[in-house]
Amino acid sequence: MPKLTIADLLNEIEHLGTERTYNYFSGLSKLQVTRIQKPEGPISFNRWNTQLERGTGNVSTAQLARIATVCSNKPNYPLHVDRLFSAGGNSRSALETLLAYTPHFFMCFPVRFDSYTGEMLQNLKHIMWCPDEQHPSGEIAIREYNETITELELGLDFGHIGITSEMLSDDLDSIEAKTIHTQMQIALIEIGNALNFRTWIAANDRHIPVREKTLGELPGVIQSLEEVDILYKGHAKQAASLVDCIWFTQDFSRIPAVIEIEHSTGVTSGLTRMHKLQSTIPAVSMNFTVVAPNHLRNKVVKEANQVIFRELRTRFMPYSTVRELYGLVQRYHLTNVVDHTFIEPFMEAVSRD
């Protein structure tokens, strides 16, 4: 995954030029860049509104660095600029406007779940850095974002994830899809650590570069299934090896959750892997959970209630819940603090009796 730097931001904004006037997205104000100081800013600008009230301002190096860092760690993800900087202000709105006119930044209006009121809202503009897409420089483009996000997700930091085109598959055929899939695995590892679980990550994903390490080297991740005695048959270990995520208790005496992450409209492949694991060790009690985008819930319910999968008694946990729990773990340092039963209310039982 490419990294976004301050130099990249300055170069793209420089291409916009200092001669042209740019409208804010709201249409109520305008701005013009007057000076760009290289190599790392600041950017000076003039601004005025429809009442011809004029002012000047600067986008600081620190603000540029913050945007570059967050976007590098969260590509293809909506960012609310005011909340990113914990306040509004002329310089922040000017930076948002300038970025929106550069080719790889898009405006979007994601559906937000307000954890406090329970409302679903879609009235707040965000910007999104999409390194693999672009629109003409000097124009603003709006891009759809089909996932539901929560208010707790603002401060999420998954770290750098180094997805390349060679890592893609038929199920995850874009860098964006594979990155989101990996983000879910990172979140599940951290949530597992908070619950005092040890986590298995699918063998074909363990090599993905994450945070100067690989996914398989993150704290709490099991290095080999050979040490897991509860998988008491060889073909059980083989079946488990390709499951996206499995939580074990520290002593490997229980399997609190077997989790498949489904990003597309087809959820049968994950259910099939879980069913295969169950069939190899039917005497072992396991909870089977599908993690998927919020809008795929009905699809998960339908597939989970096929006769062949009904005995799994599948549970569903949407992406927004996983991100929200990860946000809680990060914000409140919950590792080894909460009891393992904490997770149960967040996994919805979707199999019909």
Tell the burial category of 275 from Cβ atoms under 10 Å away from its Cβ (0-12, 13-18, 19+): middle
Q: Which helix (H) or strand (E) holds 289?
A: strand 286-292
* pLDDT number for residue 69: 81
Quote the pTM value: 0.65
- Which residues make Cβ contacts (< 8 Å) with residue 251, sequence separation at least 6? none
Would you state the structure tokens that stand for residue 67, as one six-digit string?
Answer: 């945007």
What is the torsion angle, in degrees rounded to the nearest 10, for the CA atoms of residue 287, residue 290, residue 296 and residue 298? -20
Question: How many residues are listed for the chain in this entry?
Answer: 353
Rg (CA), the chain: 23
Give the chain's residues under pLDDT 50.
87-88, 116
C-alpha–C-alpha distance, residues 126 and 148, integer Å: 13
What DSSP string runs through 18-79?
A: SS--EE-TTSSEEEEEEEE-TTT--EEEEEEETT--EEEEEE-HHHHHHHHHHHHHSTT--B
Tell the burial category of 115 from Cβ atoms under 10 Å away from its Cβ (0-12, 13-18, 19+): middle
What DSSP string runs through 111-149?
A: EEE-TTT--EE----EEEE-TT----TT---B----SEE
**Encoded amino acid at 198, one letter:** R
* pLDDT number for residue 116: 47
Q: Left, alpha or beta for 203 (phi > 0: left; psi -120 to 50: alpha)? A: alpha
* pLDDT number for residue 89: 61
Residue for token pair 């005995």 = 311
